[in-house]
Chains A and B, each alone.
Chain A
Amino acid sequence: MSDYIKERRRRGRTLLIVEGNHERNKLFALIFRCFPEINIDMEDVWIYGTNIYTLYGDIVKEYDSGWTEDDVDLPYVISKKQTAHAVCRKEDFVNIILVFDYERHDPNFSDQKIKEMQEYFVDAADTGQLYINYPMIESYQHLCALPDEDYAERKIPVSLQPGNRYKQLVRNETGIAHLVEFPHKVRELLNEHFGITDERVCRNCYEDILNISDNKCVKDRVQEILQNAITGKTLQTATCQFSALIAKLGYAHYGDTYWEYMREVFKQIILHNICKANKIQKGQYQVENGNYKECFGNLDMSDILEVQNLSSHNVQTGFIWVLNTSVFFVAEYNFSLIG
C-alpha cells in the first residue's frame, strides 16, 4: 500500500514513567505477564532514571514556577530530554502513570514540591496519575506472609536511611521476594548452572517450567522439558532441583501455572495496600462490607501524602507508613482485574 502519511499514529497506548530498573524489569514486566489483559507495550514503560525532585526541576524548566496553572505535557518534557524515545505528546497516550519513590532521605526532599506534584498529577487519562511508594518501590515485597495482618501497622523510622538499609530490611522480612525472584532464578539456573547456552532452547525450557500446572507428575514433566537441553547425569540433578523448587513455591500444587499463581499473589498485594491506604487516610484498615472498589475510588493520594509528611516530619522520631501505591495502577486500569 502506498505510504501516504509516512507514519501512522498508534493510539490507545499507556505510558508508564518509572524511576528505575527494578520497577520496569522486575515489577511491571511481571505484572504484565500475570495480567495479560493489561495492554501495555514494554516500550512504553520509560525509566526516568532519577528521582521525583529532578522531574520537578525538569517541569519547572519547561513551564516556569507557575507550572501548576499550566497544562503540563509530561511525555513531551521527558521525551525531549531523553533521546531514547521519539518526542511524544500526551495526546499519544490514553493513560499516563508515574511511579516514584517518596525519597524522604533525599537531600532534595521537599514536602511542598512533592505535594504540588501529587495534587497536580491526579488524572491518568489527562496529565497523568502519580503513584508514590512509601518509602520506596520495594515496599510491595514488604508483606511477611499472605495474608499479613501486621501490614496494617507496618512503618519504618525516618532514621532508617539510606535506601539500601530499607531494602535490606525488606529482604529480611519479606514473604514475597522469593516468589517474585522465581523466574529469574529459573533463568539463571538453566543458563549459568546447567549451561544451556542456546537462547531459544533456554527460553523454551523457562517458559515450559513456569507453565507447569499439573501437580501429579511434576518431576516427569520437568524431565520431559529438560531432556532435549540437558544430557547425562546433569539431567537427573536438574530435574530434582527444579521439581524441588516448584514444590517449594507450590504453584503447580494448586493447579496453576506460575503466572496464574502470581496473579493471585498480586491481587492480594493490591488489596493489602488498598486497606493500608484506607488506614492512612481514614484510620481504618478493614474495608467496610468488603467493598474494595468503592474504597479504592475514595482514596485520595494527596491526603495520604499529607499524613505521611506529618508523621515523618521529625527526622529523629518520625516514621513512614509502609505503602505501595504503584500496584494501584492495575486497579485503576480496570478494577475487575482484581475484583
Chain B
Amino acid sequence: MLKRFSLRNYKNFKDDISIDFDNIAGYQFSDDCITNGMISKMLIYGRNATGKTNLGRALMDIVYIVYGGLWRMDKGTFLNADSSEDVAVFSYTFQFDEYEVIYRYTRLANRDLRDEELIIEQKTIYQCDFQHGRYNFDNLQYVGAEIVSIERYMQSLLHDEEGTGETTEYQLPFFRWLISNVALKSDSMLLKLSDYVKRMNMVTVSQGIMRRPRQINDAFFESFEDLSALGEFEEFLNVMGIKCKLALRKLPDGQRELYFAYEKLVPFFENASSGTLALVELYRRFVVAGRGASLLYLDEFDAFYHYEMAENIIKFFKKNYPKCQIIMTTHNTNLMTNRLMRPDCLFILSTRGTLTALCNATLRELREGHNLEKMYISGEFEKYE
C-alpha cells in the first residue's frame, strides 16, 4: 500500500505537502476507513482553487513515469509560478509486506526527469542524475536486476539526446526500462511497485460520459452483452437510489445502445439525469475497469449526488473494496461525520497548500459524539483552511 506521498513545487504547491496514510489516531469507530494500519478511505475538503484536483494529478504522476504514454498529459504550467526551484519533487513511499520502498524523482519545467532514485529498506538501489550524467547502479543485485545491461540503457539515453528534440520525453526513466527489460522474480519489489502503480486511477466524475469517444461507450456496452453484468449494473443503480430497468439493444449498424425499459424504450444516455450519468461514469471507471484498483483518486466524487447517494457510495466502497486506497474530494459537509468517517481520515486542504486531518486541526480532543460538520462550518478548523 502507499504509505506516504509527498510533493513540492508543483502547480499551486510551492512548499512541501504530503499525504501520510499511516498517520492514524486511535479511534475506536469507523475502523472500516483503515486497512492494515493505513488510511484506506479518505475525504479531502477545501475551498475552491486550493488544489484538490492538482493534488490528484500529482499523485497520479508516477503512472506516467512508470508506464509513459500520453496518459493525462495536462498542458497547464507544471512548476509553481512563485518558486525559484527548477524542478518539481515527487516522492512515493510504499509498504509492501515488511518492506518499505521509496521511489523519488524530480521533473523539470518541460516535464523531463532530472533525478530518479529507488530506495528499499533504506538502501539506495540505484540513483540517476540525468542533468549531470551521474549514475549509481551499484546495488541492483538487491532487486535481482544485476544482469541488466546498463550499457544499453545508457545508449538509449544517448540516442535520444542526439534526436530531433521533438520527443516529449528523452530521459527514459530507468525504472520503466528496468521492468520492461529484466525478467524479475514474481515476488520482486519492483514488480509489486509497478503492479501497484498500474492499478492507480483518477476519476473526475463530473467529466461526464457523453464527452467520451463513442468507441469507449461501446466497449462499456459490450460488457453488458453478458446479461448478468447488465443485471449487476441495474442493481447498482437501484441500490444507489435510482430506480430503473435497463435494456440493451443491438442497432442495425452493429453498434449497441442502452435503454431505460419503460413501456417504450428510452435511450439511456440522452435521457439520464446528470446525477445518473455521473454515477454511470463512476461505475464504468471503477466497478468495471477498476475492480482490482490499488488506489483511486475520486475528484469531486459526489458533485451531482443527493447526500444519501454520496453516503451510499462510500458505504459501497467500504464494503466491496476494503483494501483499495480511495481518496475522495468533496464539498459535501454532510459526509463530515463520525458515523461514516473519522477525524484522522477527514482532511482539509488549505489555501496555503497544507493538508491537515481534522484531529490535528484543533486543540480540542475530538470524540465520537462531536458534530464535525457543525464544527467545520462554525470555524473550529479555520486556521487550517
Q: Which A residues lie at the B interface, using CB under 8 A?
A: 11-13, 90-94, 123, 125-126, 297, 334, 336
- How near does chain B come to A200, taking the closest CB pair, in angstroms? 35
Residue of A91, A92, A125, A297 with highest tally of chain B CB at under 10 A: A125
B106-146 contact mask (Cβ, 8 Å, vs A): 1 or 0? 00000000000000000000000000000000000000000
B371 to chain A, nearest CB (A): 4
CB atoms of B378 and A91 under 8 A apart: yes
Contacts of B379 in A (CB 8 A): 11-13, 94
Whether the Cβ atoms of B378 and A123 lie closer than 8 Å is: no
How long is the Cα–Cα vector from A92 to B375 in the complex, in angstroms? 10
Q: Does B100 contact A (CB under 8 A)?
A: no
CA distance A92 to B377 in the complex (A): 8
Chain B residues within 8 Å of A90, by CB: 374, 378
Q: How far is the CA of A123 from the CA of B369 in the complex (A)?
A: 8
* CB neighbours of B16 from chain A (8 A): none
Nearest 8 pairs between A and B by C-beta?
A: A11-B379, A12-B379, A126-B371, A94-B378, A94-B380, A12-B382, A91-B377, A125-B375
- A94: chain B residues at CB < 8 Å are 375, 378-380
Q: Specify which of B363, B365, B378 is in contact with A93 (CB 8 Å cutoff).
A: B378
Chain B residues, Cβ within 8 Å of A13: 378-379
Residue B370 interfacial (CB < 8 Å): yes
Query: How far does the Cβ of A108 sit from chain B's closest Cβ, in whole Å?
Result: 30
CB<8 Å pairs between A and B, sample of 13: A11-B378, A11-B379, A12-B382, A91-B377, A94-B375, A94-B378, A94-B379, A94-B380, A123-B370, A125-B374, A125-B375, A126-B371, A126-B374
Residues of A within 8 A of B371 (CB): 123, 125-126
Contact of B382 among A11, A93, A297 (CB under 8 A): A11
B371's closest neighbor in chain A, by CB?
A126
A-B contact count (CB 8 A): 36
B364 sits at the interface (CB 8 A)? yes
Contact with A along B344-385 (1 / 0, CB 8 A): 000000000000000000011100011100110111101000
5 A-B pairs besides A91-B374, A91-B378 with CB distance below 8 A are: A12-B378, A93-B378, A126-B370, A126-B374, A297-B365
Query: Which residue of the partner chain B has the closest CB to A96?
Result: B378
Residues of B within 8 A of A126 (CB): 370-371, 374-375
**Chain A positions within 8 Å of B369 at CB level:** 123
Residues of A within 8 A of B380 (CB): 12, 94, 125
**Shortest distance in angstroms between A123's beta carbon and chain B's nearest beta carbon?**
7
Known contacts A123-B369, A123-B370, A125-B370: A334-B378 contact under CB 8 Å: no
The winner among B370, B371, B378, B379 for most chain A CB atoms within 10 A is B378
Nearest Cβ on chain B to A254's Cβ, whole angstroms: 29
Interface residues of B, CB < 8 Å — how many? Answer: 13
Q: In the complex, A12→B377 CA distance in Å?
A: 9
Q: Is the Cβ of B370 less than 8 Å from the Cβ of A92?
A: no
| Distance in Å: Cβ of B351 to nearest Cβ of chain A | 14
Q: Closest CB of chain A to B366's CB: distance in Å? A: 9
- Interface hub of A94, A126, A334, A336 (most chain B Cβ within 10 A): A94
Q: Which residue of the partner chain B has the closest CB to A122? A: B369
Q: Of A12, A297, A336, which is in contact with the most chain B CB atoms at under 10 Å from its CB?
A: A12
B residues with a Cβ closer than 8 A to A are 363-365, 369-371, 374-375, 377-380, 382
Q: What are the residues of chain B within 8 A of A92 when measuring CB–CB?
A: 378
CA distance A55 to B380 in the complex (A): 26
Residues of A within 8 A of B378 (CB): 11-13, 90-94
Smallest beta-carbon distance A130→chain B, Å = 16
Question: Which of chain B's residues has its CB closest to A12's CB?
Answer: B379
Contacts of B382 in A (CB 8 A): 11-12
Residues in chain A near residue B374, CB distance under 8 A: 90-91, 125-126
- B365 and chain A: residue at smallest CB distance: A297
Q: How far is the CA of A123 from the CA of B366 in the complex (A)?
A: 11
CB-defined contacts of B370 to chain A, threshold 8 Å = 123, 125-126
- A123 to B365 alpha-carbon distance, docked (Å): 12
A90–B379 Cα distance when bound, in Å, is 11
Give chain B nearest CB distance to A301 CB in angstroms. Answer: 14
- Report the separation of the CA atoms of residues A90 and B378 in the bound assembly, to the nearest whole angstrom: 8
Find out whether the CB atom of B363 lies under 8 angstroms from the CB atom of A334.
yes
Which residues from chain B contact A91 at a C-beta distance below 8 Å? 374, 377-378
The chain A residue with its CB closest to the CB of B373 is A91
Inter-chain contacts of A123 with B (CB < 8 A): 369-371
Q: Which of A11, A12, A125 contacts B364 (CB 8 A)?
A: A125
When C-beta atoms are compared, the residue in chain B nearest to A297 turns out to be: B365
Instruction: Report the separation of the CA atoms of residues A123 and B379 in the bound assembly, to the nearest whole angstrom.
Output: 16
Q: Which residue of B lies closest to A127 (CB)?
A: B371
**Complex Cα gap A123–B371 (Å):** 9
Chain B residues lying within 8 Å of A334, measured Cβ to Cβ, are 363
Q: Which residue of A lies closest to B363 (CB)?
A: A334
Min CB distance, A320 to chain B, in Å? 29
> Considering the chains assembled together, what is the distance between the CA atoms of A123 and B370 in angstroms?
7
Report the separation of the CA atoms of residues A93 and B375 in the bound assembly, to the nearest whole angstrom.
8
User: What's the least CB distance linking A242 to chain B, in Å?
Assistant: 39
Inter-chain CA distance A53–B130, complex, in Å, is 77
- Considering the complex, give the chain A residue whose CB is closest to the CB of B366: A125
> A11 CA to B378 CA in the complex, in Å?
6
Chain A: minimal CB distance from B380 (Å): 5
Residues of B within 8 A of A11 (CB): 378-379, 382
User: Most B CB atoms within 10 A — which of A11, A90, A334?
Assistant: A11
Least Cβ distance of A16 to chain B in Å? 15
| Complex Cα spacing A90 to B374, Å | 8
Rounded to whole angstroms, the CA-CA distance of A336 and B365 in the bound complex is 12
Which residues of the other chain, A, contact B364 by a CB distance below 8 angstroms? 125
| Closest beta carbon of chain A to B36's beta carbon, Å | 31
List of B residues within 8 angstroms of A125 by Cβ: 364, 370-371, 374-375, 380
Residues from chain A with a CB closer than 8 A to the CB of B375 are 94, 125-126
Cα distance A280–B365 when bound, in Å? 25
In the assembled complex, the CB of A74 is this many whole angstroms from the nearest CB of chain B, namely 13
Please indicate the chain B residues that have their CB under 8 angstroms from the CB of A336 in the complex.
363
The answer for the CA separation of A239 and B89 in the assembled complex, in Å, is 67
A336 CA to B379 CA, complexed, in Å: 21
Inter-chain CA distance A94–B374, complex, in Å, is: 8
For the complex, give the distance between the alpha carbons of A109 and B378 in Å.
34
CB distance from B51 to the nearest CB of A (A): 22
Docked Cα-Cα span, A297 to B364, in Å, equals 12
Least CB distance from A305 to B in Å reads 19
A92 to nearest B CB, angstroms?
6
A12 vs B375: C-alpha distance in the bound complex, in angstroms? 9
Q: CB-CB < 8 A to B363: which residues of A? A: 334, 336
